[in-house]
Amino acid sequence: MSLFQELDERINYVAAKVIHLGDQLESVNTPRARAVEAQKLMNYFAEFLSPGPLLAQIFTDKGQIDEAADIIQKLHLIAQELPSGKFEKAKKKIASKYDEIERSLIEEFVKAHRSADIGRMKEIATILSHFKGYSQCVDAFIEQSQM
């Protein structure tokens, strides 16, 4: 057997092992990532359950509106599944924050449009597409563009 053939077989063997290890790591990491995301959402939900204003920086810092929109969208979907009564105050706080973030995104979209920042407009439109008032935003944009 030539040295090159032996080396080639060894490389193929190592490559197969690396691929196998990568698959194993991925199968462990995916559920872990979902668990981390679920825990993060539960922590944010707990903040909506507590009385008083929201303290999480993600909901108070306008610079994190994209991340806040993602979280409030998920919390809004979760809140719709919860029974009223015990969770009514939290559901109202989530709905209020949802509306506030949606309005902020629309305002930011208008600013981006005025400054002709097409990239940012696209980012915001993608985020807004998950919100209930998306079609109203599109209608308002078309109306403003025709003026």
Query: Of residues 140 and 115, which shows the higher confidence score?
Result: 115
State the Cα–Cα distance between residues 15 and 6, nearest whole angstrom: 14
Mean pLDDT for the chain? 87
Has residue 1 got a pLDDT over 70? no
Looking at residue 8, what is its pLDDT? 80
Distances (CA, A) of 87 to 49, 65, 92: 8, 25, 9
* Average of per-residue pLDDT across 18-24: 83
pLDDT in tens, 22-72: 888 888 778 888 888 999 999 999 999 998 888 889 998 889 999 999 999
Q: Output the CA–CA distances (angstroms, integers) from residue 52 to 49, 71, 93, 96, in the order listed.
A: 9, 19, 10, 14
Distance CA 128, CA 36 (A): 25
Chain segment 7-17, per-residue pLDDT in tens: 888 888 888 88
Whole-number pLDDT of residue 105 = 92
